[in-house]
Structure 1
């Protein structure tokens, strides 16, 4: 990520979610989104990624847009330019507790560090239908944007998954920041909240699974909102002048701390109700329309 070193004094600080906001179904980006982000930066505004993904899991096409830094792992890490300025990993005892909970309840899971995602055994077998569904939706997305659909998208998605996820045995359990789980049961999020909520922040995930449930787990107090507060303090910038744009429940705390919150048109209606503004959906120029309405471009 390349940083703007001398933003205009009247510029705003914008935090943009990735999945469902910049990206749809893993890799499809509306061209207007790229234009909006680059145009806002050219106009002197700072634009930061704000994602639940690990730093090492940010899609190259997103990274290539150009940002002033990023919040990753749902608030556990943050960079200004290329400098890591926020780092909140889980204590090892908490990681062991999470893993024990997943194993005891037969839940498949991922552990995220700053650079990598590690998958428990059995994840790929369960995700097979999800991968096929995502490949089909990607083809629909590309047609919607008038882009090439001749690539074997199922093979592309499977190759992407194999590249993104490492075996759990390779994980350094002293460097874990966040967990993501997938389950065949529909009530796993509520059960995890009841079983782990004393020490952890448990929220619904955003994977469009054909059934079951998925969620994200982080230590209490570590979220996108807390990281934004830390980044703004380091930048010497006002939260009142900050903008947050997102579509998922891990964006709720971001909405609470910024002066202007924007929910995507594809966001859950309950999340939209918490936002100051609602824009159009991710592939219907949602980011571009929000930036225009806010006077960023």
Structure 2
């Protein structure tokens, strides 16, 4: 059973919370912290709004996550926003920008995938990178010890199914790309080549290595999309809580009235937060919601 911290603040007026997925709601792979599920559901039953705010595409929000129940979502690192099931914000790249980005990745030999609202477009090597991670994670979770070289993951995992679907890329409707490389200089090279027109940040998928990262158009991030969404909802950013752990959460932490970094966040992310909660393994979302009176 998860721990519950003391109540530091009394119940306040209805709030809105934006919650990251990987490293915030999820520990690793697709394991959702029990306390996070209860925190989200209890906060909503108390009259608060809870939105997902993730770098994942909508198609990557699998039932284990979506079935928790949310009032809406921000996906693709700010590329899209939904109120309920209604898509209300789309911030996609011009086709020429997508072509330029793909050309650079292919010339550099980097694996990558593109995110539209409801589709993923992977390069041929992406599926194997994720399969290796999920297989290793399963072994670690089982406590087997050393990871045999022969361990592989099956395509039963929904993410692997999506990444195995290699087909011609779409040049329209793309909001974000993720690049994956073992070369630790990859981020620097992508940033140097694309940052004049794109927002390039270092990897937010830790198991993909320090050479990975993600790319949106300049100005497109979770924080700027949150401000657009709050305007649609008629809410002030002062009422908002943002909770996350990765570099793509920084702008979210900056624009929300209270920016909360997970205990497992990097020091760079924590430096942009108003406060730090406990880690994902120690009920970070629950403790943050409890501290601010949502539950």
**TM-score (structure 1 length as normaliser):** 0.88
Pick aligned residue for 2:252 from 251, 254, 265: 254
**Structure-2 residue corresponding to 1:163:** 161
> In 2, distance between residues paired with 1:193 and 1:104?
15
Pick aligned residue for 2:107 from 104, 108, 129: 104
Shift of 1:51: 0.4
Pick aligned residue for 1:279 from 277, 280, 287: 277
> In 2, distance between residues paired with 1:44 and 1:188?
45
**Structure-1 residue corresponding to 2:147:** none
Q: After superposition, give the CA deviation of every residue in 1:50-71 in whole Å (9 maximum; x if it has no partner).
A: 0011111102111001110010
Q: Helix, strand or coil for the counterpart of 2:81?
A: strand
Classify 1:161/1:235 alpha carbon distance in 2 versus 1 (closer, same or farther; 3 Å). Answer: closer
Pick aligned residue for 2:67 from 51, 64, 74: 64
RMSD: 2.1
**TM-score (structure 2 length as normaliser):** 0.88
> In 1, distance between residues paired with 2:282 and 2:50?
20
**Structure-2 residue corresponding to 1:132:** 135
Shift of 1:123: 2.3
- 1:189-268 matched pairs, under 5 angstroms: 189-209=187-207, 211=209, 213-268=211-266
Pick aligned residue for 1:13 from 13, 16, 20: 16
Classify 1:125/1:36 alpha carbon distance in 2 versus 1 (closer, same or farther; 3 Å). Answer: closer
Unaligned regions of 5+ residues in structure 2, if any?
Answer: 1-11, 144-150
Shift of 1:244: 0.2
Q: Helix, strand or coil for the counterpart of 1:218?
A: strand
